[in-house]
């Protein structure tokens, strides 16, 4: 059986090994021949959350053009950036040409992100 599988399922990576691979205190490639380059083409789902709301079905059915839904987050608070449903950073909305973008103001540390993998 392949090392990456256990009982036919992929096993979770070892957090210490991930920490070593993702350690951003050095900009050098790992000395044992391992590299993260094989991950560069993996597609990730990126989403930005501006807030949340709970509504009743009867209100949902009343919605039409111009209907406003109040969100739970004050306008002055930063937006949340998620990658594959994991909080990665916070930031503020910006215009990029005729599209919206997000300027990151606070990035979750690599150690925190690794701990949340398990």
What pLDDT digit, counting tens, does each position of 51-89 carry?
999 999 999 999 999 999 999 999 999 999 999 889 999
Biggest alpha carbon–alpha carbon distance for the chain: 61
Beta-strand ranges (E) seen in 46-98 are: 46-49, 79-83, 86-96
Closest CA to 81 of 115, 47, 112: 47
Q: Is the per-residue pLDDT at 117 higher than 50?
A: yes
Domain extent, residue 90, equals 5-115
Indicate the number of domains in the chain.
1
Question: What is the Cα–Cα distance from 13 to 109, expressed in whole angstroms?
Answer: 19
Residue 44 has a pLDDT of 92
Q: CA 54: distance to chain centroid?
A: 23
Question: What is the Cα–Cα distance from 91 to 43, expressed in whole angstroms?
Answer: 22
| CATH assignment of the domain containing 77 | 2.30.330.10
């Amino acid at each position: 059986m392949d090392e990456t599988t256990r009982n036919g399922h992929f096993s979770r990576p070892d957090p210490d090994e991930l920490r070593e691979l993702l350690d951003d205190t050095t900009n050098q490639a790992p000395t044992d021949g391992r590299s993260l380059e094989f991950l560069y083409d993996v597609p990730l789902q990126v989403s930005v959350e501006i807030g949340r709301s709970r509504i009743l079905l009867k209100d949902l059915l009343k919605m039409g053009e111009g209907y406003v839904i109040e969100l739970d987050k004050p306008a002055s608070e930063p937006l949340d950036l998620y990658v594959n449903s994991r909080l990665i950073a916070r930031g503020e909305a910006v215009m990029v040409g005729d599209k919206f973008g997000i300027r990151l103001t606070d990035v979750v540390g690599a150690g925190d992100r690794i701990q949340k993998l398990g």
